[in-house]
Structure 1
Amino acid sequence: MLDDVFAKTLRDQRRAVAVWAAGIVATVAVLAGLWPSVREMFDDEILGEFPEVMQRLFDMETMTTGSGFLNIELFSIVLPVVFITYGIGRGSRLIAGEEQDGTLEVVIVSPVTRSRILLDKAAGLAIGVSALGAALFAATVVASAVAGMGVPVTHAAIGAVAMVLLGIQHGWLALAVGAAFGRRGLAVAVAGVVAMVGYLLHVMGALVEAVAPWQPLSPFTQAVGAGPVSGDVPLGFLWLALSSVAFVSVAMPRFDRRDIGTA
């Protein structure tokens, strides 16, 4: 049964992972196709026409490098939204969604402990998000080579890991809220609000001096603050991982005790 819970979690997301991975690969390919034109178009004079706030927020002075171009066009907003959306959507469905559909009881009445069920589903979700990260990594490496972007393999790997950690963190938060309260809508709402607040904190911290001390608390800053497609592994990766584990750990006692099918 342990294998059944984990294997079912993987099976249920196979098609979704394939579709989302294809979308990620296509997006990277399109952006890579634009790179030669962007490289020739942008120079110091053109970059200077952008507002200083925008230059500082998106580190636009790096736009003429392959890594900087990907950071600004993909890894700052687009890919974080993709990975977070996938994580929240799947995480909210794994327990709360199954409970509301009436299919979770079949697993709950088995000899498997609820804690182990939660852990198996969390692991399955993490593997699904990691598969998207693998697709992103491969697409970035290939696109860089074909388009002459000059993105080192290690930089592409760090960028992919940043997106995976963001997806897992928000996905496990949605999973944890769903496990604790059995309501998928609540799980989506809580994780979605956390994502929006985190992004606002990331942006406002770069623009408003009074908010700057709080900016490191943002998951976005922890993941992409240093430019994810870079040679540095941010300390924020550790906080993303630890907070993800904390979400599931806190929800576990509540999931163990509560009556399934009731809020």
Structure 2
Amino acid sequence: MDKKRVAIIGGGITGCSIAYHLSLYKEIEITVFEKKQIGSGTTAKSAATLCLMDDSLPEAFFDLRVRCLKVYKEMNEGPKGLVGFKQSGTLVVCPTEEQLKRVKRHVDLSRKHGFSAELIDEPRDLKKYLPDLNTGNVVGGAWTSEDGYADATAIANAYARKARDRGVKILTETKVTRIIRSGERVTGVETTKGTFYFDIIVNAGGPWANEIGRMASLELPLWHTKAEVFILKPPSPLSYSFPILKYPTWYARA
């Protein structure tokens, strides 16, 4: 049986993960097109937090978060900490009783899946995990030691290496400039390094997904927004390990 030829446009963490997982199927031939370098776009800007304790996401995503945490911890056991995973724990701070109720559901979910998690209903007890925390307008929170953060670019490159080992072609510095169509089907791509033909094209362009979609006359319901990032340095080194800190509208990590 002829192999299905698959193009993946975008060499960030999503595109490289898709490439690796598709490579597990023998009947697929895969090529990744990245306009710059692997993991150099939005992936490189990610804080790469891996949090079970995250009330900003629907509970339906909890199983996915458990799997991601497990996978990245396993990847980190490679040489020299392959993806830079650091198990820092997460402290969630709740300014309202309503948010504390939502966080309690995530504590219960974590415990149900065998992870350690603690609901904190005395604000002063939050200081056990973050001594310098101002608890003036806080009703409580939650803590888990399981969470942490990694290096998103390292994860993308780890997936790229694993994909290459399985025969995936990865073309960097190769921008897709046009998607070739025959009737209602896509049949290939034109790039800055030539024309290639495929049976299936995967759009893994992240913030550029709309631009890629329009090449195939598709308007995707995607909008990306900018967020502010502040890099702060304490006047003197902290005497404790700084966890991931989550408030309702922002978060921080070391």
Higher share in helix: 1
TM (normalized to structure 1)? Answer: 0.26
Higher share in strand: 2
